[in-house]
Amino acid sequence: MKKILLVGALNEVIRSVNECLADQFQVQLCSLQLDNIKGMVKIYRPNLLIICQIGVDEIDPSIYEWLNLKADYIPTLIITSKEVWNALKAYCENRHYETLFRPITSQAIVMKCNALLTPDGESDSDKDNADESEMSSVKPDRIFHILVVDDNPMVLRNIKGILEKHYDVTLAKSGEAALALIEKKRPDLVLLDYLMPGMDGKETFDRILEMENGILLPVVFLTGVSEKQKILAVLKNRPAGYVLKPPDREKLVEEIERILSEYYNG
C-alpha cells in the first residue's frame, strides 16, 4: 500500500481529505511545520506528499525552500485556493507541483493521487512486483536478530508471532533487561516500546546511544498513542522509524525490511 504524508492544519478539511484517502492508501498526518515535515519525511518515507494550505493564515516559505532542495524526489500535491496559489507559486518555481483548487470532490483527490503514484505505462501490480524483486535482491545470506522491548507480554507474543518466521527474535520486558541483552548479544535492530514503567523508551534509547557503537544500532519505536505531542516526541529522538500499536503484520515487516536494507546493505 502506497504511503501518503498529509500535511496541513488539523481542521475539518484535512480530516475529510484523510477519510477519502484512507481506504486506498496508508496516510500519516503531519502539522504544517518545517521541523515536523523533515522528521516525518525521514522516518515515514512517503511515496506522495500532500500539502493542504486551506485554513492556513500564512504561507511559510521555508517549507517550500526545503522541499525544492531536499525533497524534490517526492511528488507533491498542493490543495489550495486559486488566490493562495497566486501568492504561493513564487516559492514553487524550482520544481513541479501538482495542484487542486477548491471546491474539490473526494473522487478528484483520489484520482489525482493514483495518477501521481502510478508512473506512465506501469500498473500498480507491476510496481509492486518490481519493489518485491528489488527487496529480495538486497536480502543478505543471514538471519537478522531483532530485539523486541515491551512491558506487555501480549504485545511481545504478538510481535514475536509476526517476526519469528523472518528473523531471530529476542524479547525483553523492560528497558533495563533490553540493555543487558544488548551488551550480551548485540541485535541488528531494536523494536522499543515508547511508554513503559520505570525506564521508558526515551531513556532506554538514550542509553543505547551511549553504549559502544550504539549510534549504529537502528531503533524503531513502538507507540500505542496517536496524539500529536507523543508522535513529535518520538521524532525528536531521531530513531530509525516508528510503528503504531497494534502493528499491522505486513506494514511491520515492510518497515523492518526497509530499515535493515538501509543500515546493512546501503
Task: Note the pLDDT tens digit of each residue in 17-30.
Answer: 998 998 889 898 88
Separation between Cα atoms, residue 67 and residue 69, nearest integer Å: 6
Mean predicted confidence (pLDDT) in 246-257? 87
Mean per-residue pLDDT of the chain: 83
Mean predicted confidence (pLDDT) in 1-16? 87
- C-alpha 119, offset from chain centre: 22
At 138 the three-state DSSP class reads coil
At residue 118, the pLDDT reads: 80
pLDDT of 36 higher than 90 = no
Of 131, 160, 194, at which residue does a domain stop? Answer: 131
What number of CA atoms fall less than 13 Å from residue 207's CA on the CB side?
17
At residue 79, the pLDDT reads: 94
Separation between Cα atoms, residue 95 and residue 232, nearest integer Å: 28
Residues 37 and 148 in one domain: no
Of 90, 108, 131, at which residue does a domain stop? Answer: 131
What letters, b where the CB count within 10 A reaches 16 and e where it falls short, cover 78-115?
A: bbbeeebeeebeebbeeeebebbeeeeeeeebeebbee
At residue 227, the pLDDT reads: 58
At residue 244, the pLDDT reads: 84
At residue 226, the pLDDT reads: 64
Mean predicted confidence (pLDDT) in 213-219? 72
pLDDT of 42 higher than 80 = yes
Query: Cis bond leading into 246, ω under 30°?
Result: yes
Residues 121 and 29 in one domain: yes
Separation between Cα atoms, residue 97 and residue 107, nearest integer Å: 20
pTM: 0.57
pLDDT of 225 higher than 70 = no
Higher pLDDT, 113 or 102: 113
Q: Which domain holds residue 224?
A: 138-264
Residues 142 and 117 in one domain: no
At residue 128, the pLDDT reads: 46
Separation between Cα atoms, residue 178 and residue 172, nearest integer Å: 5
pLDDT band of residue 125 (cuts 50, 70, 90) is very low
Of 131, 158, 181, at which residue does a domain stop? Answer: 131
Mean predicted confidence (pLDDT) in 223-242? 73
Residue 42 identity: K
| DSSP-assigned letters across all residues of 165-186 | TTSEEEEESSHHHHHHHHHHS-
Instruction: Tell me the per-residue pLDDT of 146-203, one tens digit each, with 9 for 90 and over.
Output: 999 999 999 999 999 999 988 999 999 999 999 999 988 889 999 999 889 999 988 9
Residues 124 and 210 in one domain: no
At residue 63, the pLDDT reads: 93
